[in-house]
Amino acid sequence: MAKYVFVTGGVVSGLGKGITASSIALLLKSRGYKVFMQKFDPYINVDPGTMSPYQHGEVFVTADGTETDLDLGHYERFIDEELNYTSNITTGKVYSSVIEKERRGDYLGATVQIVPHITNEIKNKVYEAAKTSGADVVITEIGGTIGDLESQAFIESLRQIRGELGIDNTLFVHVTLVPYIYGSGELKTKPTQHSVAEMRGLGIQPDILVCRAPEMLSDSMREKLALYCSVPKENIITAKDEKNIYHIPINLYEQKMDEIILKQFGMKVNKINLGSWENLIKTVDNLNKEVEIALVGKYTGLHDAYLSVMEALSHAGYKHKVKVNIKWVDSERLENENLDVVFKNTKGIIVPGGFGERGIKGMIMAIKYAREKNIPFLGICLGMQLAVIEFARDVCNIKKADSVEFDNMCEEPIIDLMAEQKNIINMGGTLRLGNYDCQIKRGTLTYDDYKSEKIAERHRHRYEFNNKYKEVLEKNGMVFSGVNPESDLVEIIEIPKHKHFIACQFHPEFKSRPVRCHPLFDSFIRESSK
**Binding positions for ligand GLN, rule: CB under 6 A:** 353-355, 381-382, 405, 460-463
Q: Which is nearer to ligand GLN, 214 or 356 (CB)?
A: 356
User: Cβ 381 to ligand GLN, closest distance in Å?
Assistant: 3
Interior/surface letters 189-206, b for 16+ CB within 10 angstroms, e for the rest: beebbbbbeebeeeebeb
8 in a known ligand binding site: no
**In degrees, to the nearest 5, what angle opens at C-alpha 140 toward C-alphas 139 and 144?**
145
Confirm or deny that 344 is annotated as ligand binding: no
**Least CB distance to ligand GLN at residue 415 (A):** 7
Residue placing its CB nearer to ligand GLN in the complex, 39 or 460: 460
Alpha helices in 292-381 (DSSP H): 307-320, 331-334, 339-342, 360-372
Please state the length of the chain. 530
Instruction: Of 172, 180, 273, give the one whose Cα is nearest residue 218.
Output: 180
Contact in structure between 90 and 47 (CB atoms under 8 Å): yes
Is the Cβ of residue 416 or residue 527 nearer to ligand GLN in the bound state? 416
**Cβ-contact 316, 517 below 8 angstroms:** yes
What is the nearest approach in angstroms of ligand GLN to the Cβ of residue 462?
4
Of 221 and 392, nearer to ligand GLN (C-beta) is 392
- Is 271 one of the annotated binding-site residues? no
For the CB of residue 316, give the shortest distance to ligand GLN in the complex, in Å: 20
Q: Which is nearer to ligand GLN, 212 or 461 (CB)?
A: 461
* 14 in a labelled binding site: yes
Least Cβ distance, residue 460 to ligand GLN (angstroms): 5
Separation CA 62–CA 76 (nearest Å): 9
93 is an annotated ligand-binding site residue: no
Pair type for strands 60-61 and 67-68: antiparallel
Taking the complex as a whole, the smallest distance from the CB of residue 351 to ligand GLN amounts, in Å, to: 9
Q: Taking the mean position of all CA atoms in its chain, how far away is CA 50?
A: 16
Cα–Cα distance for residue pair 326/464, rounded to 1 Å: 28
Rounded Cα–Cα distance for residues 151 and 96 (Å): 16
Closest CB to ligand GLN: residue number: 353
Give the Cα separation of 530 and 528 in Å (integer): 6
When the beta carbons of 268 and 358 are compared against ligand GLN, the nearer one is: 358
446 in Cβ contact with 522 (< 8 Å): no
Q: How far apart are alpha carbons 177 and 9 in whole angstroms?
A: 9
Does 373 belong to an annotated binding site? no
Q: How near is the Cβ of 358 to ligand GLN at its closest, in Å?
A: 11
Amino acid at 168: D
Closer residue to ligand GLN in complex, CB, 9/383: 383
User: Binding residue per annotation — 141?
Assistant: yes
Does 384 show up as a binding residue in the annotation? yes
β-pair type (137-142, 170-177): unpaired
Q: Confirm if 493 and 481 have CB atoms less than 8 A apart.
A: yes
Q: Among all residues, which ones are annotated catalytic?
A: 381, 507, 509
Report the alpha-carbon distance of residue 414 to residue 405 in Å, rounded. 11
Residue 213's H or E segment, with its range, is: strand 208-213
Quick one: which of 500, 504, 494 has its CA closest to 473? 494
Does 191 show up as a binding residue in the annotation?
yes
Binding-site residue set for L-glutamine: 54, 354, 382-385, 405, 462
Binding-site residue set for UTP: 13, 188-193, 224
Binding-site residue set: 13-19, 54, 71, 141, 148-150, 188-193, 224, 354, 382-385, 405, 462
